[in-house]
Chains A and B, each alone.
Chain A
Amino acid sequence: MSPLRNLRDWLDQRLGWDDLIAPLRKKSVPLHKLSYWYFLGGITLFLFVIQVLTGILLLLYYRPGANEAFESVQYIMTQVKFGWLIRSIHSWSANLMIFTAFAHMFSVLFLKAYRKPRELTWVSGVILLFLVMGFGFSGYLLPWNTLAFFATKVGTEIAAQVPIIGKPIMIFLRGGEEVTGATLTRFFGFHVAVLPGLATLLILLHLVLVQRLGISIPPKLEAQWTANPSAKCEMKFFPNFMLRELMAWYVALGVLGALAAIFPWNLGVKADAFAPAPAGIKPEWYFLFMFQTLKLIPPRVWFMDGEVLGVLAFGLVGLLWLLLPFFESDQPSPTKRWITGLAVFALAYVAGMSVYGHLAK
């Protein structure tokens, strides 16, 4: 017996290893022409792991605080060996992760994978998307540069538009009336402790649910396969699909490394609370569709402030989005088409508004 085999058996006797991975061995992945979309969730998870690892590395040198944050990031980028690369990977991976999370969500929507019994998988996924956007918003402030400073000012001011609870939320987020070093300390805490903890728990829940419920098949195919079981085509998850997933991760790593090395992330100019906001200031691309919408709403609609209306509308849409699977009955009904139509509209709206926001002066 080889030593590796010996070690394996030793561990198996103590951990029940074989029982632990038994569900993975039983698991299979449906094979059809849209199977490629199944990779997106895994790639998002992979990028999250990259975020955790590079985030820990950045923590070795980063110092929160209005007088130190910018300088410490500058130090990372100019003095620490490969510091520019680590930070660039962290920034690029964050953006790619948000992109793949959105793509994963829309693929789930179009493949109708959110249907019963997978409602909770959808809900945990949408909350994860919100958390990821929270990561983006809080992490953006940490280098304490001008763009980040004003983005945080505007972002927290938008939160203050919510009637009654808005103002206290803003003060909670800012750690006071204004965006100051206190805000930076808070955002740092959210970014490196609160959000990672919540996200890890939710990711575990999300993965357990995927594991328990198996992988969804698009309804049309499901009907075909039920009618004709011999047409059913599946691949074992372990090791066949997992090796393919690993190759996808490898490609993602290559893309990430290339982007980070060829287009290193800028640091910008240190934030100055008493300097005017730079011209053409815009939020990160994943907030652009909301930013642009708020800009288009007239200042006064009927009896309400335009801003307030916009913020409330986004809150409501977000809530409905979270509960989307519960609007679809498991009986054949016209709502099925209705939800796909909504998905097409949402995708077109988010993409269109983002491009419009990007091009708008």
Chain B
Amino acid sequence: MSTPGEEMGNAGNPLSPPVPRRRFVEVLLGSGFLATAIAFLYPVLRYLVPPKASDLGSDAVVAGHVGELKPNSGKIFRFGNRPGLLIRTASGEYRAISAICTHLTCTVQYRDDLREVWCACHNGKYDLNGRNISGPPPRPLEAFEVQVRGDAIFVRRRREA
């Protein structure tokens, strides 16, 4: 049978502080286990976050070639790993905008009958500058810069002023 004095470890010794031995061991073990758990959980949590996909060539891409698009038509091109929409207006001018709808990120398309950009998912509509004009989209589509150099139609992101 243990007496309360024994339970308190070396409490009876006036030279040592009255720390119960069991408590001391518990704290030591507990903090050791905690440190181990953190040391194993931290790498796992970092591992779970996928590395950033490289956004290759997203600064400027060749979206198409002259003569590829009739007036009053549009096509989807790859802008890095996202879709962009290249439009040739009825007057023959080129426009490029992001093709990701600002509502719920569906890919939009050019409607030659409406002469508007249209999202099939929830009937969102944008004008040819990417401004949201009807339906649920909350923001305009990002507009890109278009340059025709020789045969190629280059699209680049607008520099922030």
> A interface vs B, CB < 8 Å?
57, 60-61, 79-83, 85-86, 250, 253, 257
Contact = CB atoms under 8 A, between A and B. Distances in A.
A91 to B, nearest CB: 15
Given A79-B51, A81-B46, 14 more contacts: A57-B44, A57-B48, A60-B48, A80-B47, A81-B43, A81-B47, A81-B49, A81-B51, A82-B44, A82-B46, A82-B47, A83-B47, A253-B36, A257-B40
A81 B36 CA distance: 19
B5 interface: no
B51 A80 contact: yes
B67 interface: no
Nearest to A61: B50
A270 to B, nearest CB: 21
Determine the interface band of chain B, counting residues with CB < 8 A from chain A: 10 to 19
28 contacts: A57-B44, A57-B47, A57-B48, A60-B47, A61-B50, A79-B51, A80-B47, A80-B50, A80-B51, A81-B43, A81-B46, A81-B47, A81-B49, A81-B51, A82-B43, A82-B44, A82-B46, A82-B47, A83-B47, A85-B43, A85-B47, A86-B47, A250-B33, A250-B36, A253-B36, A253-B40, A257-B39, A257-B40
A341 to B, nearest CB: 44
Interface of B: 33, 36, 39-40, 43-44, 46-51
Contacts of B48: 57, 60
Contacts of B36: 250, 253
A81 B46 CA distance: 6
A257 B38 CA distance: 13
Closest CB pairs A-B (n = 7): A82-B43, A81-B46, A79-B51, A82-B47, A82-B46, A86-B47, A85-B43
Contact of B43 (A79, A86, A253): A86
Nearest to A83: B47
Contacts, number: 31
- SS of B interface (majority): helix
A252 to B, nearest CB: 12
Contacts of B33: 250
A181 to B, nearest CB: 25
A92 B39 CA distance: 18
Contacts of B50: 61, 80
Contacts of A79: 51
A86 B44 CA distance: 8
Contacts of B51: 79-81
Contacts of B46: 81-82
A82 B44 CA distance: 7
Contacts of B47: 57, 60, 80-83, 85-86
